[in-house]
């Protein structure tokens, strides 16, 4: 896949101040300053490159076609040596910089549901983005809709990003799923049919993910946060979905919440043919948006004020939030013949081992090891 001649090529001499703002299995995203444009931009570099940068250029092709106010804008292609003059030349996507990061980072910072009018606007803006992608010819399927792929500008307006898994609809019909990384997404947001060996994504695949995303926006939480992926893969096709109990309790005090809850259930229907279209979703969210439009400015002001207070009270909050938001980790540990499980979340840790009566001293271990007072005190605290 060749570099599109219409794409702006931005070399490393044109940018400065490389600052990592996000990273993952795909690679890293940097905030940099464009010397000529006099503004900040975001550059996405991939960890792995097959020599042709085909995956990155494919994403560029997708995003270049999706020019819409609710889809992140791509300025061009970065070409240069970002880390050092001796490193190899890399290609990257140069995108508009979104000041407030992702919806996921906002949820982790606030740790509570967003004000209802702002939730309504976000759901409508996401629906507008999906509807635009699905209305293209051929339609573009995003296939990885989730809070971390919804970016927010300085006024908390939403735009869709990350088209690494996106596909043209005609290119996937009739295909079989052979590679999870190519055809998949984030398990908690994937539709039940995605776990079939013969899965072929359609527009309805995005609609299911949109339904789960709606739930996340309203509750401020992630679906199945502590469930093992193998269990999620098993239960979603059997009909398990995020709990609506919390939303039902709030429905009486929030105008339109019952309708959005009904929309969620339609979107995550087990049958793809029964799910609404992106157009129908947009019409429904538009109705709610018009009802709450007058209260959105105050809701945005409230959230921005809380973010400013958080920044003042905790200068390194972004790093702390990433650590505190990490799910519980379970790591098998083996010491001689003793097997245990570490359970922790960066703040606390406990060790669960087998029955002490089942322990046996390793033949090479010393006959006795005196316990230090320091260890004794720590054991009592735990």
Q: Are strands 349-353 and 338-344 parallel, antiparallel or unpaired?
A: antiparallel
All structural domains of the chain, each given as residue ranges with its CATH number in brackets, are 8-96 (3.30.200.20), 103-324 (1.10.510.10), 329-368 (no CATH)
Phi, psi of 298 (to 5 degrees): -65, -35
Predicted confidence (pLDDT) at residue 38 exceeds the cutoff of 80:
yes
**Exposed (0-12), middle (13-18) or buried (19+): which is 260, by Cβ within 10 Å?**
buried
List all residues 6 or more positions away from 21 whose beta carbon is below 8 Å from its beta carbon.
29, 30, 31, 42, 101
- Residue 97 and residue 100: Cα distance in Å, rounded? 9
pTM: 0.76
Nearest to 95 by CA among 140, 146, 52, 151: 151
Q: Tokens at residue 294, please?
A: 């007058």
- Residue 42 and residue 22: Cα distance in Å, rounded? 10
Only one residue has tokens 């980072």, namely 105
Q: Tokens at residue 275, please?
A: 């799910």
Residues 15, 32 contacting (CB under 8 angstroms): yes
- Residue 141 and residue 241: Cα distance in Å, rounded? 22
pLDDT tens digit sequence for 302-355 = 999 999 988 787 655 444 444 344 444 444 444 444 444 444 444 444 444 444
According to the model, what pLDDT value does residue 331 have? 46
48-51 contact pairs (CB < 8 A, 24+):
49/90, 49/91
Residue of higher predicted confidence among 359 and 278: 278
Residues with catalytic function: 144
Residue 216 belongs to what H/E stretch? helix 203-219
Highest mean pLDDT among 76-80, 179-183, 233-237, 344-348: 233-237
Least confident of 94-108, 116-130, 246-260: 246-260
Tell me what the pLDDT averaged over the chain comes to.
Answer: 79
Phi, psi of 170 (to 5 degrees): -65, -20
pLDDT tens digit sequence for 215-231 = 999 999 999 999 999 99
CA distances from 188 to 46, 106, 211, 232, 331 (A): 24, 19, 11, 7, 22
Least confident of 27-31, 260-264, 277-281: 27-31
pLDDT tens digit sequence for 39-96 = 999 998 876 655 556 777 777 777 777 788 999 998 888 888 776 666 677 888 899 9
- Residue 26 and residue 285: Cα distance in Å, rounded? 32
- Residue 64 and residue 95: Cα distance in Å, rounded? 11
């Amino acid at each position: 896949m060749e570099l599109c001649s219409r794409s702006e090529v931005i070399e490393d001499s044109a940018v400065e101040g490389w600052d990592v703002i996000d990273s993952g299995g795909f690679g890293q995203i940097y905030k940099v300053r464009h010397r000529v444009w006099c503004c900040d931009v975001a550059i996405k570099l991939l960890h792995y490159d097959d020599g042709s940068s085909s995956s990155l250029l494919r994403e560029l092709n997708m995003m270049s076609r999706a020019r819409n106010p609710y889809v992140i804008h791509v300025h061009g292609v970065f070409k240069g040596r970002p880390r050092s003059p001796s490193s190899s030349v890399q290609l990257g996507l140069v995108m508009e910089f979104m000041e407030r990061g992702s919806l996921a980072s906002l949820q982790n910072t606030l740790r509570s549901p967003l004000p209802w009018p702002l939730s309504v606007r976000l759901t409508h803006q996401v629906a507008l983005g999906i509807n635009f992608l699905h209305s293209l010819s051929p339609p573009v399927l995003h296939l990885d809709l989730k809070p971390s792929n919804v970016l927010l500008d300085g006024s908390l307006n939403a735009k869709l990003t990350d088209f690494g898994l996106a596909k043209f609809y005609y290119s996937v019909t009739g295909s079989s799923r052979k590679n999870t990384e190519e055809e998949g997404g984030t398990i908690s947001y994937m539709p039940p049919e995605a776990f079939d060996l013969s899965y072929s994504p359609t527009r309805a695949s995005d609609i299911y993910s949109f339904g789960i995303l709606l739930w996340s926006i309203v509750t401020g939480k992630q679906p199945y946060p502590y469930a093992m992926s193998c269990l999620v893969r098993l239960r979603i096709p059997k009909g398990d979905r995020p709990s609506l109990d919390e939303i039902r309790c709030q429905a009486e005090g929030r105008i339109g919440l019952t309708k959005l809850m009904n929309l969620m259930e339609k979107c995550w229907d087990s049958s793809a043919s029964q799910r609404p279209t992106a157009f129908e979703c947009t019409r429904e969210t538009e109705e709610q948006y018009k009802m709450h439009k007058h209260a959105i400015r105050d809701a945005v002001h409230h959230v921005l004020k809380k973010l400013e207070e958080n920044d003042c009270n905790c200068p390194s909050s972004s790093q702390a939030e990433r650590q505190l938001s990490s799910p519980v980790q379970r790591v098998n540990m083996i010491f001689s013949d003793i097997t245990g499980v570490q359970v922790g979340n960066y703040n606390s840790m406990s060790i669960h081992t087998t029955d002490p009566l089942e322990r046996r001293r390793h033949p090479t271990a010393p006959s006795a090891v005196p316990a230090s007072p320091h260890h004794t005190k720590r054991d009592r605290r735990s």
